Amino acid sequence: MKTTPLLLGAAVLFWGWHTDLLPFAATIALLLEGSRLVAWRWNVAAGDFRRVADGCALVFLALAVYLYSANQTTRAILTVIQWLPLVTLPLVALQVYSMSDTIPLNTVFLSLRRKAAPTPPRPWRTINLAYPYLVLCLAAAGAANVRGARFYLGFCLLLAWALWPARSPRDSALVWGGSLALVVLVGYAGHVGLHDLQRHVGDRFVAWFTPSPIGEADAARTRTAIGEIGALKLSDRIVLRVEPGRGSPPLLLREASYTVYASSTWWAARAAFESVRPERDGTTWALTDDVASREAATISAYLRDGRGFLALPTGTTRIESLPVTTMERSPLGAVRVDGGPRLVAYRVRAGPASSLDAPPGPADLAVPPAEASAVARVAGELDLASKSPADMLDTVAEFFRQRFTYSTYASLNAGDREPGATALGDFLLRSRSGHCEYFAAATVLLLRAAGIPARYATGYSVQEFSRLEKAYVVRDRHAHAWALVYHDGAWRDFDTTPPGWVNAEQAAASIWEPVADAWSRAAFLFTRWRARERTGGVPDGLAWVLIPLLILLGWRLYAKKRVARLKTTAAPRVLITPGADSEWYRIARRLEDLGMPRQPGETQSRWVARLDGAGERPLSTESLRPILDLHDRYRFDPAGVSDAEKEVLKSGVHAWLERHQSA
């Protein structure tokens, strides 16, 4: 079966439209439909088809492994599906540019390849990949999950387009269109109903199994793992890349800070966001007046759906090269952006101390009642009240460094914890072992008890230099929490977690980490390249190598193994069928109505001869002969018939129909 012209191109564009890969889609569509314009074809052997199919399968596997290692979520499956039209393109393009319209079936089925060759050898059954590819494009477009009518509408239009050439000639186009419309409507009702059902079941499920609402990670509050039992494990995924500016890189990158602690959750009170206006170029954002700031770092981060919180060093004054549409900041130093690309790489200028955060208030000195007794006990032990603020900080840092150990594993034997003690209190008084959240929370409360304003900050710690990236990489497991203290008239980072914590986390790293890193690097480069393409930047040196290589490859393919395609006439010559308006067809219809249909491949005269004396009411076909002869002349004689003869035919048919109507 020949592929309907332009159908594949349209399907690919539809895919590109939904998955936001329109430039790719346009190229693919041009490539696939362009085959109709070129006058050559490759002479592709079955082995070549198999090799290309194997290549596609390898690319598919690599993509699946990468996406899973990069995301580790079920989202990866949807992304793999979205990229399928690109992965399978080589095979389809090869078929389109090969001499045959189909490829052997065993190319795409390993099970068939293993089967022994038949004796005597006969050609494999073949398959036209265009239609499976069409289905693939539609599925990939669907995986983009664009809500709204445009997907279903386009889907139905493409299906109708594909089915139109294969419709049965028995029924009129109207019947065909009507039944198609019915199917479309039923399909619409069906999927809307299914969606509602799923939502309903989902809601009920959530209501049954999750009694309390799940806290969303946001700047208003953060749930800590304080008091949770078991190992705390974060992934090795690289989330940030930090290229230091002049001097050493910032040690801590803060995303948000919080003031109020209650039952393992930190809350940000009085933290309404206010928007920041960009400077004239639209990508530079001045947060405070530029006082004695220096270039601190260039930070590359992914924004999910174009929005998220920026990780910034304390003391940030200015952010450059950040193409987002809106930026908001909170008085607690969180900076939220929206409407940006997937990957941003922004330059940060920072001063010595933070000026983003609001000056301390009463909330920054509050110790929650539940923790007050434990905190007061430790403060008393350390004799904080009698010391100066600088000594206090030293004492607290020394206290945690000397007497505490880092651990991501919290065990709890029954009776271990003193009755009535909170998880934090237990950490301070008894276990003296925990992860950064314990240290940060305990430090904040201890300092507050001693009268120093403090806040709880979350973000990332920068410490791993990657030779592969030539930059500092920040992984998920480098997520960190520390205290902010108000000292000497400014907010400063104060990290009391024992320095060994990085090594402890490192020890828990997966052995696959180097592989995942390499993938991550490739994906980062690709995304950055795409971003630069979009903003019209100069492509990497890599592109200058790749382009000539691609041209060379294209030329080698073009020059090799081609055979000229026979010139087919551009449009199939329209056969003129004279006599298509012959009155005879009325008799033919009448005969069919009488239950005597023509057999396939039977000519009119044989049909009439067969009917002679047949049927329920024997029918004299003798009178039909002269009419049929005239019809034959009208239809098949290139000389045609005169108008008078046409009249004779017409009247003969009328007379016959009259006779057989009354009969």
Partner 1 sequence: MIPVSQVSPQEIVRSVTRNIERVMHGQSAAVRMVLVALAGGGHVLLEDYPGTGKTTLAKALARSIGAKFTRIQFTPDLLPSDILGVSIFDQRDQAFRFHEGPIFTNILLADEINRASPRTQSALLEAMGEGQVSLDGALRRLDELFFVIATQNPVEFRGTYPLPEAQMDRFAMQLGLGYVAPHDEVGILSAQEKSHPIDGLTACASMDDVLSLRRRVGDVRISEELKRYIVDLVGATRSASGVQLGASPRASLSLMKAAQALALFDGREFVTPDQIQELAVPVIAHRMVLDPQARFSGVTARGIVEDVIKAVQVPI
Residues that bind partner 1 (CB under 8 A): 120, 122, 575-578, 588, 598-606, 632-633, 635-639
What minimum distance in Å lies between the beta carbon of 166 and partner 1? 16
Whether the bond into 120 is cis, omega within 30 of 0: yes
Tokens of 40: 């050559």
Residue that is written with structure tokens 């018939």 in the block:
641
What minimum distance in Å lies between the beta carbon of 585 and partner 1? 8
Distance CA 519, CA 65 (A): 9
Residue that is written with structure tokens 């033919």 in the block:
588
Q: Which is nearer to partner 1, 362 or 601 (CB)?
A: 601
Q: Which is nearer to partner 1, 559 or 580 (CB)?
A: 580
**Secondary structure (DSSP) of 130-174:** HHHHHHHHHHHHHHT---SHHHHHHHHHHHHHHHGGGS-TTS-HH
What minimum distance in Å lies between the beta carbon of 650 and partner 1? 18
Q: Which is nearer to partner 1, 503 or 577 (CB)?
A: 577
Distance CA 437, CA 457 (A): 10
Best CA proximity match to 264, nearest among 233, 229, 302, 308: 229
Q: Which is nearer to partner 1, 279 or 629 (CB)?
A: 629
Distance CA 552, CA 15 (A): 29
What minimum distance in Å lies between the beta carbon of 642 and partner 1? 14
Cα dist. 424→236, 352, 427, 468 in Å? 27, 32, 5, 40
Is the distance from CB of 257 to CB of 456 less than 8 angstroms?
yes
Q: Which is nearer to partner 1, 398 or 602 (CB)?
A: 602
Distance CA 599, CA 604 (A): 10
DSSP class of residue 106? G
Q: Which is nearer to partner 1, 243 or 632 (CB)?
A: 632
What minimum distance in Å lies between the beta carbon of 40 and partner 1? 24
Best CA proximity match to 267, nearest among 258, 278, 275, 276: 258
CB atoms within 10 A of CB 486: 20
DSSP class of residue 248? S
List residues bridging with 307 in a β-sheet: 304
Q: Which is nearer to partner 1, 415 or 638 (CB)?
A: 638
What minimum distance in Å lies between the beta carbon of 128 and partner 1? 15
**Secondary structure (DSSP) of 420-433:** T--HHHHIIIII-E
What minimum distance in Å lies between the beta carbon of 593 and partner 1? 16
* In 508-603, alpha helices (H): 513-535, 541-559, 584-593
Q: Which is nearer to partner 1, 26 or 609 (CB)?
A: 609
What minimum distance in Å lies between the beta carbon of 641 and partner 1? 11
Best CA proximity match to 34, nearest among 55, 5, 60, 61: 5
What minimum distance in Å lies between the beta carbon of 304 and partner 1? 55
What minimum distance in Å lies between the beta carbon of 344 and partner 1? 59
Q: Which is nearer to partner 1, 117 or 639 (CB)?
A: 639
DSSP class of residue 615? T
Q: Which is nearer to partner 1, 142 or 652 (CB)?
A: 652
